[in-house]
Amino acid sequence: MKAFLHYIVLVGIPVLSVIVFLQIGENSLTAPASVGGKWQLEPILAEGNQVCTDFLFNDEEPRLSISQSGVYLALSFNDEQQTTLSGMLTERTLTAETSEVSLMATIDRDAEPDRLEGTLTIASCETTLSLSATRQPELAQTSGGH
């Protein structure tokens, strides 16, 4: 009988605790939306300073790469300066900035593929740039061997 009581205390209570915590977490924990990957930029340019337009347009198509860890983001543009922003994701709103550039956008998960719609503010410009971006499909991984 004494062994049975030890078993209940040492095994039963921890198992019951795990079950309770799993039930609590099942309804209250949600992962943030996934925004990581490559995005094709489609800027909507207003008339203005050439510096503003040069930021997004170089010899290549304008792209945005997003690395994500939970709600924290690292954004990289493929401009000549390889501009990198740090930011956060709050529900469907993405905000990122440096001292020179800031981006605020919303994620449209209903579009296929996903889209970002927002504004890009560059410190050296007099106007903000409206932009949208379309998520690029991930390329299939190829193996090095046979």
Residue-level pLDDT at 143: 43
Residue among 52, 54, 22, 57 nearest 41 (CA): 57
User: Can you give the pLDDT at residue 109?
Assistant: 84
DSSP state of 79: S
What is residue 103's predicted lDDT score, i.e. its pLDDT? 92
**Mean pLDDT in residue range 11-24:** 88
The model's pTM is 0.71
* pLDDT of 139 higher than 60: no
Q: Residue 55: what pLDDT?
A: 65
Looking at residue 73, what is its pLDDT? Answer: 96
What pLDDT does 145 receive? 47
Backbone dihedral region for residue 68 (phi beyond 0: left; psi -120 to 50: alpha; all else: beta): beta
Give the DSSP H or E segment for 55.
Answer: helix 50-56
Mean pLDDT over the full length of the chain = 82
- Give the residue with greater pLDDT, 79 vs 84: 84
Determine the Cα angle at 115 with ends 108 and 126, to 5°: 105
Task: State the pLDDT at residue 75.
Answer: 94
Cα three-residue angle 70-71-75, rounded to 5 degrees: 100
